[in-house]
Structure 1
Amino acid sequence: MASAQQQLTELFRQLTAGDQLTLLAFAEFLAGRSSPGAVTVTREPVVIPEPEPIERQAGESVVGALKRLAKTYPMLDKTAMLGATSDLVASAIMQGADPVGVIDQLENIFREHYEKLKSGDHE
């Protein structure tokens, strides 16, 4: 049992804040299902860290901006943004879209996902 708890703890630490909330909700559901009324879980609210602002460099590439934003918003689940971000990167590389405009859009995507995480909307 101890090794299962250790494994669960390690996996929990690797999750984003939103995924940690999902895992806690699922664990509460399972605990309540097996013994109704027997488990009352009091959990502390998850504190979502503030972004770590990194200034945009002059002449920054789209890929460089993506790396900067990933460091600025380490709490976000990057796979949730993959569709939108990959489309923008592709438009910059394949279609020659204006890099500054693409970077502005990437910053907006990251900011919007952060605001959703802060508001509790993890979908």
Structure 2
Amino acid sequence: MTDGTEKRLTEILKSLPAAQAGALLEFAEFLLIRHGVDGLEPVKNIAAVEIPKPLDIPRPAGETVVKAVKRLRVTYPMLDARKLLNQTSELMTQHLVQGREAVQVIEEMEILFRLSYEKLTVKNED
């Protein structure tokens, strides 16, 4: 991290009310867990970062596969969409090229996102 980045983070942290400063720290710890450096020792006595619960966004009637992907990305903002890109693209291709029913593809996408979320929360408990 550059000195400028560290200085700016410190300025922001000092300017925030206590609750928001705590939230910033929790988010930084979450990012460290998700993208941490291999071999970096975990910090002792820091509570595990709580992964937010998915938003409750119901599937609208007649939803398209593309809209389903957008809805699921909003429903699960804590997931890294890049890690789901291959599987999501494969399911979308099955629908667009192979003619697979949209409802089936959307159901599989919902399962994919839910399982990815569950994997993330289990990983965080370790």
Task: Mark yes or no: TM-score above 0.5.
Answer: yes
Question: Is the CA contact (8 Å cut-off) linking 1:85 and 1:106 kept in structure 2?
Answer: yes
Report the secondary structure of 1:4's partner residue.
helix
**Residue 52 in structure 1 maps to residue 55 in structure 2:** yes
Give matches, 1:1-123, under 5 Å: 2-6=3-7, 17=30, 19-24=31-36, 26=37, 29=40, 41-120=44-123
Question: Identity of paired residues, percent?
Answer: 36
Question: Is the CA contact (8 Å cut-off) linking 1:61 and 1:99 kept in structure 2?
Answer: yes
**Alignment TM-score, normalising by the size of structure 2:** 0.71
Superposed CA RMSD: 3.2
| 1-structure distance, mates of 2:52, 2:93 | 30
Q: CA deviation at 1:27?
A: 8.2
Number of residue pairs the alignment of both structures matches: 109
Q: 1:97 to 1:77 in 2, by over 3 A?
A: same
Q: 1:114 to 1:50 in 2, by over 3 A?
A: same
User: Unaligned stretches of 5+ in structure 1?
Assistant: 33-39
| 2-structure distance, mates of 1:101, 1:13 | 37
The amino acid that maps onto 1:3 is G
User: Which of structure 1's runs of 4+ aligned residues deviate more than 2 A?
Assistant: 6-10, 12-15, 26-29, 40-44
Question: Is the CA contact (8 Å cut-off) linking 2:56 and 2:75 kept in structure 1?
Answer: yes
